[in-house]
Amino acid sequence: MAHFESELDDSVGTGWVRPHAARLWVRSAKAGRLRVRLLDSNGQLLDEGTFDPPTDEALDGTATFRWPDDVDGATTALEPAHTYDYEVFREPDALLGRGRLLTPPLGWDDCPERFAIAVASCHQPFGDDGSASTKARRLVEKVHEVLDSHDVKAVVLCGDQVYNDQPAALSLFDDEYFAQVAPPGRSSILECTREEVRALVQDRYRAFWGLDGFQRLQSRWACYPIPDDHDLVDNFGSAPEHASETWRAFREGALDACHDYQTSRVLGRHGDRPESLHHSFAWGPLRVFTMDLRSEKTSDGEVCSIYSDHQLAEVERFLHGNEDAGLLALVLSVPIAHIPEWLSAIGKPLEGEGGDLADRWGQPAARRSRDRLMALLHEHRERRPWQPLVLLGGDVHMGAVSELRWADGAASIHQLISSPLTNDEAAVFQHGSALAHEALQTIDGEGYPRCDVRLLPGTAALERNPVPALNVGIVEVSVREGRCFFRLQLLALNDEGEPVLVYESAELPGPMGGGPEARGDYTD
């Protein structure tokens, strides 16, 4: 029986980064005090201190802490708009890993004229034999150079950073494979306790994140992750059975493991895992809100609720509370604009409960959730037409850039989809997703005017859109005279196996509301 080729041992990761502080994440294969060293960009030691990770074995050696607040002996606060390196050792001298901190500016005065954030999703590089594909390995190993050249400051990981159900021969839902990893007396993952599920999914993280290029991505850039369905199981929450008692232990255990390896680097460990894993961050004039579309998603067969009232209120608070920002971004792991409504509507009759089509925003049972969010976005575009809004998504195994135009003339919204990063599935599926997206023309619901959707033309020779291949998205921001402008870009491998730009939008105007004097506070 095949096994995964990789295994994460000791490692580090960069979580949120602010002008004067940062949250770091570590995984240590053995217990012991950690020594954390802060260096300047030339490798000169600036400060160091120690951190004692929690001893709870259920955490699988993971821990998260703030520099400098949680590091004993550390006194050096970070400076805005600087580059730092850091090293973490398990005492006395076992290196867990090295990483980098790119601190954001305080505001407009020290903001660089150009910077970017990257967007990626769907990390599943393995075949049924447990080995990583050549293309997947190539992209994650080479993309670092391209991100550096584009002044990328942070990476949004918008779903499926681990797969519990793929590849098929190594799935936790495959009876033969599960028998090899099962706790004593368990014949199915759904028979396991919450604690057993947590441990099994933690094993998946160590396998999937053992791919060197993917782990280096997480240590060299501030990463803001959110789970999607495969972090649990395909289309989780779309089938009524997922809300049943039978699935409760699996849901809770898988989300616990997700918090251990992903969202604790953003949300910290203040008590138990929160009910929703949504979060936000800022980088200069850019503000980003990441919705959690999985941990609260439930269906009773008639109505599919994608998020809670509380989370929607948090989105509204974000939109109203960041009116001084130059550019807003909303991360939706499942893109709100992807396939035609008629295609979503046939999902249940064609596939049954919980299929891919039934997992979309446009399927009839989910339209109330879609329409409430669309109405909120329309209200923002009416109220703040000069403050641009970009939707960032993944999940659908193709890259695309689109414009959403309101029939009443309210300011447009732009959408960037980047998927997959490493899931090199059959071309027919990627092309099918791209064709479905090209067929999307309108979003028409209650509480807002009709919204027309079109693929956004690219510039010069960079006009491949959609992109049915492994890809990474970039939002490139330019700051000039108190205004923000941005370009949306997609990277993919060329014939020589090098990651290159294949799509770039024209520069999209985004004057900041209130002009140059409304600069605000970007310390998040």
Is the per-residue pLDDT at 521 higher than 60? Answer: no
pLDDT band at 269 (very low <50, low <70, confident <90, very high): confident
What is residue 1's predicted lDDT score, i.e. its pLDDT? 44
pLDDT tens, position by position, 352-399: 666 777 789 999 999 999 999 999 999 999 999 989 999 999 999 999
In this predicted structure, what is the pLDDT of residue 449? 98
Q: Residue 318 — pLDDT band, cuts 50, 70, 90? A: very high
% of residues, the chain, pLDDT over 90: 84
Place of tokens 């779903």: 159
Mean pLDDT, to the nearest integer, of 105-112? 88
Block residue for tokens 């059959």: 426
Q: What are phi and psi of 249, to 5 degrees?
A: -65, -40
Mean pLDDT of 431-451: 83
pLDDT tens readout for residues 13-32: 999 999 999 999 999 999 99
Of the pLDDT bands very low, low, confident and very high (cuts 50, 70, 90), residue 297 is very high
Q: What is the pLDDT of residue 38?
A: 98
pLDDT at 109 over 90: no
Q: What are the tens digits of pLDDT across the range 343-365?
A: 766 655 655 666 777 789 999 99
Domain ranges of the chain: 11-18+104-477, 19-103
Nearest alpha-carbon partner for 243 in 181, 300, 292: 300
Q: Which of 425-429, 474-478, 515-519 has the lowest mean pLDDT?
A: 515-519
List helix spans (H) across 264-399: 264-267, 309-321, 341-345, 347-351, 367-383
The distance from CA 282 to its chain's CA centroid, rounded to whole angstroms, is 15
For the 19-103 domain, the top CATH level (class) is mainly beta
Kindly report which listed range (23-32, 163-172, 498-507, 512-521) carries the lowest average pLDDT score.
Answer: 512-521
Distance CA 366, CA 349 (A): 15
Q: Is the pLDDT of residue 467 over 50?
A: yes
**Once rounded to an integer, what is the mean pLDDT over residues 447-465?**
95
Please check the confidence at residue 522 and state whether its pLDDT lies above 60: no
CATH topology of domain 11-18+104-477: Purple Acid Phosphatase; chain A, domain 2 (3.60.21)
Per-residue confidence band for 57, with pLDDT thresholds at 50, 70 and 90: very high
Give yes or no for a contact between 209 and 162, defined as CB atoms under 8 angstroms apart.
Answer: yes
